[in-house]
């Protein structure tokens, strides 16, 4: 898919930390061992297909502003492939980053549209509802 102008990952490597990658036995919230200090991938040419294919919603949605790049707001936005839920995935070191007003407003709007919306950080999860209230859940 051609890259949308202004939507380069740049210095962001948020997905290389917060997502689980079964190919590496990498747990959610643990920085990938191949991620180099500058944020680049140390095995870029041989990185697994799952890394080649992955694009967070910020990269694919023109409606998400430059301020919402995951490393800036501390939350990665994505449809969950294993369920019908929409997730804001955060770094366990900053688990409540999804409360960022930009992110939270977006999540509430999705809930108003009828989506099941959750924020995740490591093993913790919160459900966000259409009326703006939220609570920790399993
Ligand atoms: S979280 Fe999104 S913007 Fe950041 S590196 Fe991953 S795909 Fe790129
Ligand atoms: S292999 Fe590279 S692209 Fe994939 S998670 Fe690790 S650092 Fe990121």
Pairing of strands 85-90, 134-137: unpaired
Counting ligands in written order, the one closest to the CA of 68 is 1
Q: pLDDT digit of tens for each residue in the chain (138 aa)? A: 677 888 999 999 999 999 998 888 899 999 999 999 666 899 999 999 999 999 999 999 999 999 999 999 999 999 998 899 999 999 999 999 999 999 999 999 999 999 999 999 999 999 999 999 999 997
What gap in Å lies between CA 92 and CA 120, rounded to an integer? 9
Domain boundaries, the chain: 15-137
State which of 25, 27, 31, 43 you would mutate to test the pocket of ligand 2, scoring each by most atoms of that ligand within 8 A of its C-beta: 43
pTM listed for this prediction: 0.93
* Helix/strand number for the chain, H first, E second: 5, 5
Please indicate whether residue 86, judged by its CB atom, sits closer than 6 Å to ligand 1: no
- Closest residue CA from atom 8 of ligand 1: 9
- Closest residue CA from atom 8 of ligand 2: 16
**Which residues, including other chains, have CB under 8 Å from residue 29's CB and lie 6 or more apart?**
17, 18, 91, 92, 93, 121, 122
């Amino acid at each position: 898919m051609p890259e949308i102008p202004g939507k380069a990952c740049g210095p962001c490597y948020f997905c290389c930390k917060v997502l689980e990658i079964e190919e590496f036995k990498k747990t959610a919230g643990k920085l990938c061992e191949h991620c180099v200090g500058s944020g680049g991938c140390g095995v870029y040419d041989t990185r697994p297909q799952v890394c080649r294919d992955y694009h967070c919603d910020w990269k694919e949605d023109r409606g998400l502003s430059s301020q919402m790049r995951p490393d800036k707001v501390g939350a990665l936005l994505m449809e969950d492939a294993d369920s019908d839920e929409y997730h804001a995935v955060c770094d366990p070191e900053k688990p409540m980053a999804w409360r960022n007003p930009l992110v939270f407003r977006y999540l509430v709007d999705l809930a108003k549209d009828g989506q099941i919306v959750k924020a995740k950080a490591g093993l913790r999860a919160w459900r966000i509802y259409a009326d703006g209230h939220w609570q920790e859940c399993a």
